[in-house]
Structure 1
């Protein structure tokens, strides 16, 4: 069948033929979305996905369908089987819980559909406003820069690329790692896997990454860090960057930022802070002192989609030396040349500070959340999570059948069910099974981790909907499951 040539002067082939009908359908879809957010706490945290839903094998659509049919399908086959991070008992990984206002922000982002790579349009100026707010929040120096990206993993890659540019010089952009021989990056053994990936992707290889020992509280041992740096210098290596952690992924540990700052200044090393979730403690008056020294770091990476509950995906990199940041990424291709006036005005553009030429308008969601909630309200929510974690730690320590496996510096509680007659791998298997049962029964969603060979039930509270009664239910269910699973084995 020969396809009929389209009318070259017809209205849009993709806009609704009946705007009023579409408006009504879209309002109904918004109601479904808001009902989902409001009613999610009344459902199981997580439920296993039916095989029929997993076995999606529909043919590629040739003709379109009406909006209500698509929404109905999502209600049936997708909404009941989400991860559950909007549920008050989701603590498995450090996921944000979103917000009702965030639904509206995402709607506006879709309507504007801005490409934030560059050019002269109002969304660019709104993003710059957000970056200036963040400079103020973190106490960054004059001349600082920043860029909004998909998350801390990307921000860490960008931050370490700037560190390499400073350590290897301007020729690294032309010669690559021929100009970066012998560079070394340092991070705690508790550092996020994105640090390994960044070092790999820059072509330095993970042999260039020095894993620094930790203290008893899982923070980086700065004395050991100093020894690693001095040994590398004696061996002819060039220390490039130290990656400190504010809120480690396993236990929430915070590295000694002032001590690391001093060491980095002494040796001329770049200090990059991985603050994926913990950096946003600066929003809380009560917690901000724990981040003393973060304002002196060379770069800070963190996520908005975690403890600020902005919709996925939105992270940020802040850089103290804005000029070095620009020099690391700016290009001069003809089609990217700026002008003094017109749509090509307003440079430097975001693509001069990162690798993406096409970028979404995540800055609007951040702006919306800050304007709607305010820093004080967001900070109180973060502080409440930390107080909940402290109280959970105390409840675990007071319970004879439970054991706290790490300090609780922020919002993460690692513990296990224990029995005097059980030890080693048998105890590890039991606790991993408790986590699986909590998830599969829809009771709660912690995750498993391992601390010094011991399997832990890990509860990461970055959830503004969590109440103390939810955590009480977790403790009760953990005790009941431990006893039940042991009884099965007898």
Structure 2
């Protein structure tokens, strides 16, 4: 283990590119060359081999030219805690497998609920935002169904009525909501058109008035609004839906409000931006990914619920884990398998606990402000350069832009986006993402490294510019657009 740490330390100090620059066919050949059926080669040799195969070809999120996705560099105390939890190998599904680990996780859940304003709240750590969103919508579905059954007559309160009720359930979200919302609807057995798109304003935020109108239209069509999903930090635009008016609409319609704050949840602790989450205390459930804006190794996410009683649909009892008879006792052990979609579950909360104790929540919040400040600075930089176009303004740390030289038409600039991204990635010089907004492709910077400077980003933009000009020269893309 000391050898591995020493090797990684050297790599972090000396790594000069965000990616390996090796062609995928080369990487595939190196992977295929390893015979997994031969006798063991010993600990030291095996670790040297994976160092050469994996670490030498890794994507380095800490590098200042990695500005692609929602991947953060990790806090060193969390890395040490990761080694500790992996070696001890605790599973926090039942108390007799975890003891103090369960109590520490519960304390972190209570702490997070306190910052959310969930005085009677509860929650559970998950593998990521996708799982958190899935469980939130599962709980919404089951609690809504239970409410419908409770208010229906005896002939309706049967399993036979369930398919008909399921077919009427609708989830409301914008086209900027994370894809996991639609995936959850599919996994939950809802209709193909169960996710209803709520219009956005010009900035990409949910239009609260349109939400009210959509809720009325759903009810007029004899459909049932199962949940509204507001996004606090959209993946593409990095904007936050207006939570206060959305909460008002949901409360008026008695609809479950889930806030997907996987990206933006860290703003709760940001000294200068916490107000952007005003209204989140009125949500029914919230997703927060600590492995995005809390600088934790994956995985570290949580689902938080305003009222602990809403977890009831998840509860299942098994004699070999959490016997129902024991659960009724006033001395019942806190078996968290009652609230989780997972059984065996890592003690990922230890990483967050250790980071908070080492660095403090206020320092982490300040780091979140820092990356958001950098994004604002980058947008101003791009606004002042004639050969770049920038889209909108983010509440967080996302910047969408395009290389738009005077020598290329709009269609040619569209072509350049994926080509620039691919050339930079394959060269290892920079990792930049791309996306499409309203049919138009854009390059995307996602800034999650508080040590990245404006000079670092300027260097990435210079690479984008040089790469774009190189492609234009090589492919003879003209002002009329298209390759010659």
TM-score w.r.t. length of structure 1: 0.89
1:71 to 2:57 alignment: no
The 1-side partners of 2:7 and 2:89 are apart by: 22
Matched with 2:401 is: 415
Matched with 1:166 is: 143
Q: Is the 8 A contact 2:79 2:351 kept in 1?
A: no
Matched with 2:116 is: 138
The 2-side partners of 1:34 and 1:139 are apart by: 40
Offset of residue 177 of structure 1: 4.4
The 2-side partners of 1:353 and 1:226 are apart by: 32
Deviations 1:70-118 (A, max 9, x none): 1211221111211222322211111121132222111101122111111
Match of 2:107 among 121, 129, 132: 129
Offset of residue 332 of structure 1: 2.4
Counterparts of 1:269-348 in structure 2, within 5 Å, are: 269-325=255-311, 327-335=312-320, 336-337=322-323, 346-348=332-334
User: What is the DSSP-based 3-state SS (H/G/I as helix, E as strand, rest coil) of the residue aligned with 1:86?
Assistant: coil
User: What is the DSSP-based 3-state SS (H/G/I as helix, E as strand, rest coil) of the residue aligned with 1:306?
Assistant: helix
1:450 to 2:440 alignment: no
Deviations 1:161-180 (A, max 9, x none): 11112211176996764553
User: What is the DSSP-based 3-state SS (H/G/I as helix, E as strand, rest coil) of the residue aligned with 2:239?
Assistant: coil
Q: Is the 8 A contact 2:371 2:450 kept in 1?
A: yes
Q: Is the 8 A contact 1:119 1:346 kept in 2?
A: no
Deviations 1:121-178 (A, max 9, x none): 111111111111111222222x210000000100001111111122111769967645
Offset of residue 487 of structure 1: 2.1
Structure 1 pair 46–191 and aligned structure 2 pair: CA distance change class (3 A): farther
Deviations 1:403-451 (A, max 9, x none): 1122232210001011345334322111221222222222221101111
Counterparts of 1:45-124 in structure 2, within 5 Å, are: 45-49=19-23, 51-55=25-29, 56-57=31-32, 58-61=34-37, 63-120=39-96, 121-124=99-102
The 2-side partners of 1:290 and 1:126 are apart by: 29
The 2-side partners of 1:239 and 1:469 are apart by: 48
Q: Is the 8 A contact 1:149 1:315 kept in 2?
A: yes
Structure 1 pair 356–178 and aligned structure 2 pair: CA distance change class (3 A): farther
1:241 to 2:227 alignment: yes
The 2-side partners of 1:276 and 1:177 are apart by: 31
Matched with 1:29 is: 4
Structure 1 stretches of 4+ with a deviation exceeding 6 A read 170-175, 338-341
RMSD: 2.2
The 1-side partners of 2:386 and 2:326 are apart by: 71
User: What is the DSSP-based 3-state SS (H/G/I as helix, E as strand, rest coil) of the residue aligned with 1:354?
Assistant: coil
The 1-side partners of 2:158 and 2:42 are apart by: 50
User: What is the DSSP-based 3-state SS (H/G/I as helix, E as strand, rest coil) of the residue aligned with 1:301?
Assistant: strand
Q: Is the 8 A contact 2:108 2:349 kept in 1?
A: yes
The 2-side partners of 1:223 and 1:330 are apart by: 37
Name the stretch that deviates more: 410-419 or 429-438: 429-438
Deviations 1:350-397 (A, max 9, x none): 111121111111111111121112111111111110111001000100
Deviations 1:249-301 (A, max 9, x none): 11101100001000000000000001111111112110101110111111000
The 1-side partners of 2:450 and 2:299 are apart by: 18
Name the stretch that deviates more: 390-399 or 330-339: 330-339
Structure 1 pair 232–488 and aligned structure 2 pair: CA distance change class (3 A): same
Q: Is the 8 A contact 1:87 1:465 kept in 2?
A: no
Match of 1:153 among 116, 122, 130: 130
Q: Is the 8 A contact 1:119 1:345 kept in 2?
A: no
Q: Is the 8 A contact 2:102 2:334 kept in 1?
A: no
User: What is the DSSP-based 3-state SS (H/G/I as helix, E as strand, rest coil) of the residue aligned with 2:132?
Assistant: helix
Structure 1 pair 80–434 and aligned structure 2 pair: CA distance change class (3 A): same
5+ residue gaps, structure 1: 1-25
Counterparts of 1:348-427 in structure 2, within 5 Å, are: 348-420=334-406, 422-427=408-413
Offset of residue 346 of structure 1: 4.7
User: What is the DSSP-based 3-state SS (H/G/I as helix, E as strand, rest coil) of the residue aligned with 1:244?
Assistant: strand
